Structure 1
Amino acid sequence: MAPSTARSAPSVPYVIGCGLAMGAADVVPGVSGGSMAFILGIYGRLLEAIAGFDPELLGLLGRGQWGQAASRVQLGFLVPLLAGIGTSVLVLVRPITWLYEHHPVLLFAFFFGLIVGSIVLIARHAHWGASGLAAMVAGVIGALVLVTRVPVTMPHDPFTIFWSGAVAIMAMILPGISGSFLLLVLGQYQHVMEAVKGLQLGTLVPFALGCITGLLLFVRLLRWLLHRWHGQTVALLVGFMAGSLWKIWPFRTVLESTTTAKGKLVVLRDALAGPPSPEALAVALLLMGIGVALVTGLEQLQHQAGVEEMGG
């Protein structure tokens, strides 16, 4: 993976748009903001920017070298990206959670198309020798293990919220693995979403601290893998995305569910199902097609914006 200095810096409006897309994806259990970063060609730049938060950065700040410190963490990239993500989460958390509760088939059919389209395009950058195929299989298996877990009941104390945030953010940065879904598995999704809606700092602060901690630790490993074994790591990530399709398939049968104290239904176990009618299948295929077409359009937008290809 080429160093960041060799890349054309994406424009601020493009980065904000990427943040909006990532925030929207992260709200939906089963869809990854990391997938959107990969699709939009800012994934490598994002990893490098986050990896810049290290002891050397503290040294630069201690010596008052503000310009070098800002350059080390690519502040001109991170600030608009985070602004987009934050805006998207705050603005879209209500409509997307409403769609998730009332029209999940439509929502997941669209995202299914997004992921399928991105797998096809991103796979061009993977290594498809024996090691790449093994990495892809490992990614598929790992994703299936994660997305088929049954949600558990966990307390909502600050320490549990902290480490739940750390686990979720590691998933959010991985294409194909949804941090929101892992929050669902850990029994924290509804609690955190309600905290976002109500700006409940008692939950949001430990969750944010957990996210920061998990992100700083995990990104270094992922960045090293991309530098050392780029093709095989991309194949691994393609496998993660392919395995996650099990959870994003729009037609499902609920096997076990429960109701929260607020009367909301939470699915504990489900299984794949066929479409209930030809009309439902037609609508789902249309939305999937729109998702695939959108990914193709995003690739063209990347070229026009001077951004790296998918996976950047």
Structure 2
Amino acid sequence: MGNRNLLDYIFIILKGMAMGAADVVPGVSGGTIAFISGIYEELISSINSINLGLLKTWKADGFKTVWGKVNGNFLLALFTGIFISLFSLATLVSWLLENEPILLWSFFFGLVAASVFFVGKEIQKWHVGTITALVSGALIAFFITTLPPSENIDGLPFLFLSGALAVCAMILPGISGAFILVLLGSYKTILDAVHERDIKIVITVGVGAVFGLLSFAKLLKWMFTNYKNITLALLTGFIVGSLNKIWPWKRVLETKVYGEKTVIIDTNTSPLSYEGDPQIFYAILAALIGFSLIFILEKTASKK
């Protein structure tokens, strides 16, 4: 960690923006991006250092000590990036989801496929435990991706819970926070609330998210400290399983309409039997860009 200069913080803001952009897409996890860009464990430790004991420290030693303890500059830079992204890139990503879904999903498919390598190669020892964890992770994530989305739900306690669950998924590589919200049926409610600046909903979800973040980071930190290889294998498994969700070519099985909300239940299909233009050449190109982007990110991260 040590002393960072302005440029380092600009990079952290950019990493935050990448996390935010990934989290807007149901199926891609900001945690995956944090992992690839080399800030995952620092993020977990920093979140983990936030607790009620800080109030005592504040009274005794002042704000500066508290800020240092929670790695404040790092968190501020990262969350600034995430918020910039959620409010700006969200529009772009939504547009791409509507207009160029195959290319967007192909890009993310390449990105996520490459991240399987990166998280996986952190595993130092392969044994029955790590292999079991990897397979279980993949099966759990795969199972989650096959669940049918729920109807739109907008009770505040439920939205609080959504915020807590989504943020846990957001920190987990492989399982996307946005996708959990889609499953819970609160994705549209929350997205609309952000667009329409519905403060009550945004705050409820936000408080839920903070609650989820603080409790979940403790668990993850403990797992990293005590069972690092198994935890990494489980996370790699999550990423492998999540590839099912972001396969670019889908066949729509049924379309349900709840009020104004259309829920599409689809299944993966081969680009050759895809109805409509499969855009195979551009899709492969987009996937390769996503795939190589990870290697470029990794190179710049390891140079630092």
TM-score scaled by length of structure 1 = 0.91
2:266 aligned partner: 270
1:224 aligned partner: 222
Aligned-residue offset at 1:63: 2.1
Matched ranges for 1:162-241 at <5 A: 162-241=160-239
Q: Deviations over 1:233-282 (max 9, x none)?
A: 111100000000000110011112223433x5321x22110113896222
Aligned-residue offset at 1:153: 2.1
- Over 3 Å counting, the alpha-carbon distance change for 1:39 and 1:84 in structure 2 is same
Sequence identity (%): 36
Matched ranges for 1:103-182 at <5 A: 103-126=100-123, 127-182=125-180
Q: Deviations over 1:93-138 (max 9, x none)?
A: 1111121122211111000100111111221111321111011011
**What letter matches 1:90 in structure 2?**
F
**What letter matches 1:285 in structure 2?**
I
Give the whole-Å Cα distance in 2 for the aligned partners of 1:285 and 1:243. 21
Structure 1, unmatched stretches of 5+, are 307-312
Q: Contact (CA 8 Å) 1:93, 1:197: kept in 2 or not? A: no
**The one of 97, 101, 116 aligned to 1:100:** 97
Q: Which runs of 4+ in 1 moved over 6 A?
A: 7-10
1:288 maps onto 2:287 in alignment: yes
SS at match of 1:11: helix
SS at match of 1:225: helix
**What letter matches 1:248 in structure 2?**
I
1:57 aligned partner: 54
**The one of 73, 78, 81 aligned to 1:76:** 73
Give the stretch that moved more between structures: 285-294 or 241-250.
285-294
Give the whole-Å Cα distance in 1 for the aligned partners of 2:82 and 2:69. 21
Matched positions, count: 299
Give the stretch that moved more between structures: 144-153 or 243-252.
144-153
Q: Contact (CA 8 Å) 2:16, 2:78: kept in 1 or not? A: yes
Q: Deviations over 1:188-233 (max 9, x none)?
A: 1111111111211021010000000011001110111111111111
1:247 aligned partner: 245
Aligned-residue offset at 1:155: 2.8
Structure 2, unmatched stretches of 5+, are none
**What letter matches 1:136 in structure 2?**
L
Q: Deviations over 1:10-67 (max 9, x none)?
A: 8101100000000000100001011110111000000011001112212212324322
Give the whole-Å Cα distance in 1 for the aligned partners of 2:32 and 2:288. 18
Q: Contact (CA 8 Å) 2:9, 2:77: kept in 1 or not? A: yes
Give the whole-Å Cα distance in 1 for the aligned partners of 2:197 and 2:60. 36
Q: Contact (CA 8 Å) 2:21, 2:89: kept in 1 or not? A: yes
TM-score scaled by length of structure 2 = 0.94
Q: Contact (CA 8 Å) 1:108, 1:248: kept in 2 or not? A: yes
1:309 aligned partner: none
Give the whole-Å Cα distance in 2 for the aligned partners of 1:32 and 1:279. 25
1:88 aligned partner: 85
Give the stretch that moved more between structures: 151-160 or 275-284.
275-284
